[in-house]
Structure 1
């Protein structure tokens, strides 16, 4: 259990180091620009030294509307450990990856990392990498919760 707490602390610290990075579609560079997936890839690289194999070189702004339903969830299941995510459990543990839907019954197309105190960090178009409240609005959009691996 201590290993999991340690990796979660490292995930939170690495993610917070990206705060203020401008939004850039397909970007993956801290302080230069990233999108929500680029933030997750950047945190992964900060932890493990290399990008996960799941990341495509390019993807369109409307990739989820072009038959990509489930791609983000499939990739998360392949590279992260699934965690329970029912409303009864409450807020995901700090350091957990959350996949979110923009609309009920839509595919998961947004990524964020849970932070302490019911907050999350994510890259948001027109805002960049920001810390937001993990309020009911966002919790209702959670499609999956995943833990970063202790090591790869």
Structure 2
């Protein structure tokens, strides 16, 4: 299955920290893994993630989320974004929010108290108080199983 089609199947899943069960619960990072698995890009449960707090980004500067993404994806220029690419946003001290770009300036991501939603990339929640975009990196999956 195509990654964009797979991302759409997660819409409406409630937000649950460190969960990855479609329709039951998922956070933004685990959503990226769920999309890779559901699209057949990686084997189910092949990507091991250490447990984390839902507030880790407020207390640490280590870019561990980015590090995990870079094990499977290559950074690309935001100008070259294509459907199915992953986007990392900075909230707190480091990148701590991930989304799947689905085309036409839209993303699918898991948001606290909203679950998995479809948003526009110019949604106010993706900008800081000064109007600066929180988008920091765009990645493309580099291979199959």
Give TM-score scaled by structure 1 length. 0.81
Equivalent in 9, 15, 24 of residue 17 of structure 1: 9
Q: More strand by proportion, 1 or 2?
A: 2
Indicate the SS of the match to 2:29. Answer: helix
Q: Does 1:98 align with 2:87?
A: yes
Equivalent in 38, 54, 59 of residue 30 of structure 2: 38
CA deviation map 1:24-58 (0-9, x unaligned): 111100001111012111112112332343522x2
**8 A contact 1:42–1:51 mirrored in 2:** no
Give TM-score scaled by structure 2 length. 0.84
Q: How does 1:2-151 map to 2 (within 5 A)?
A: 10-46=2-38, 47=40, 48-56=42-50, 58-85=51-78, 89=79, 92-102=81-91, 106-135=93-122, 137=124, 138=126, 140-151=133-144
CA-based RMSD:
2.0
Q: More helix by proportion, 1 or 2?
A: 1
**Partner Cα distance (1:135, 1:114) in 2:** 13
Unaligned ranges ≥5, structure 2: 128-132
